[in-house]
Amino acid sequence: SQKIEQNSEALNIQEGKTATLTCNYTNYSPAYLQWYRQDPGRGPVFLLLIRENEKEKRKERLKVTFDTTLKQSLFHITASQPADSATYLCALGLSDMRFGAGTRLTVKP
């Protein structure tokens, strides 16, 4: 069966450092992979979409990589800030989008 694993349930880092979150998947060949941010008690908010033919995508302090051979995506937040503290979800597919369980990131001042 299809599986999406976000390796760390929680990640704590110091302000200013780079946060790196991992998303691995099995039994799936998605054409699209997305990352969302979810704050407690709120719906997810879209951050980035990357296509299978793209290796890397950037948006301000965010960077996403997509390795279809390794079946893995890495999500980086550079120069992290306490305001970046949230749960980050990876999602695969489009019309039948499936989500990972998320990684709860805490950025300490």
Partner 1 sequence: GAVVSQHPSRVICKSGTSVKIECRSLDFQATTMFWYRQFPKQSLMLMATSNEGSKATYEQGVEKDKFLINHASLTLSTLTVTSAHPEDSSFYICSAYGTGNTGELFFGEGSRLTVL
Interface ranges with partner 1 (CB under 8 A) = 4, 9, 32, 34, 36, 41-46, 49, 89, 91, 94-102
Q: 5 or 15: whose CB is closer to partner 1? A: 5
Contact by Cβ (8 Å): 4, 71: no
d(CA 80, CA 30): 29
- Residue matched to tokens 């302090």: 61
CB 104 within 8 A of CB 11: yes
Nearest residue (CB) to partner 1, 41 versus 109: 41
Instruction: Report, in Å, the least distance between residue 107 CB and partner 1.
Output: 19
Nearer to partner 1, 28 or 99 (CB): 99
CA 109 to CA 98: how far, in whole Å? 33
Closest distance of CB 88 from partner 1, Å: 12
H-assigned helices in 1-68? none
**Smallest distance, partner 1 to C-beta of residue 41, A:** 7
Residue type, 54: E
Smaller CB separation from partner 1, 15 or 100: 100
Shortest reach from residue 87's CB to partner 1, in Å: 9
